[in-house]
């Protein structure tokens, strides 16, 4: 991989989304999260961050990253 993109959201929002999507209990989601790399560590490795928090528009973020990546190869 040449570039890493992290898509992130506040933990509580992620928990709620997974509970709704997978129809599982909060404890199951928290257990999954606890077995994953911490977000602070993920941020150290990524080149770009997309905020999927319901407050920031996704498309402008994606297009901005796309433009930057295109500029690197042109």
Task: Read off the pLDDT of residues 54-64 as tens digits, 9 standing for 90 and up.
Answer: 999 999 999 99
Could you tell me where the DSSP H helices lie in 1-74? 11-22, 26-34, 39-45, 58-73
Which tokens in the block code for residue 60? 């402008």
For the whole model, what pTM was predicted?
0.88
Which tokens in the block code for residue 35? 């077995």
CA distances from 54 to 13, 34, 67, 69 (A): 9, 23, 23, 25
- Assign 53 a pLDDT band (cuts: 50, 70, 90): very high
- Phi first, then psi: give them for residue 2, nearest 5 degrees: -90, -35
> Any bridge partners for residue 62, and if so which?
none
């Amino acid at each position: 991989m040449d570039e890493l993109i992290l898509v992130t959201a506040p933990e509580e929002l992620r928990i709620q989304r997974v509970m709704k999507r997978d129809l599982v209990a909060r404890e199951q989601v928290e257990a999954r999260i606890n077995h994953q790399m911490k977000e602070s560590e993920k941020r150290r490795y990524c080149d770009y961050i997309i905020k999927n928090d319901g407050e920031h528009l996704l498309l402008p973020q994606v297009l901005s990253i796309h433009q930057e990546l295109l500029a690197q190869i042109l």
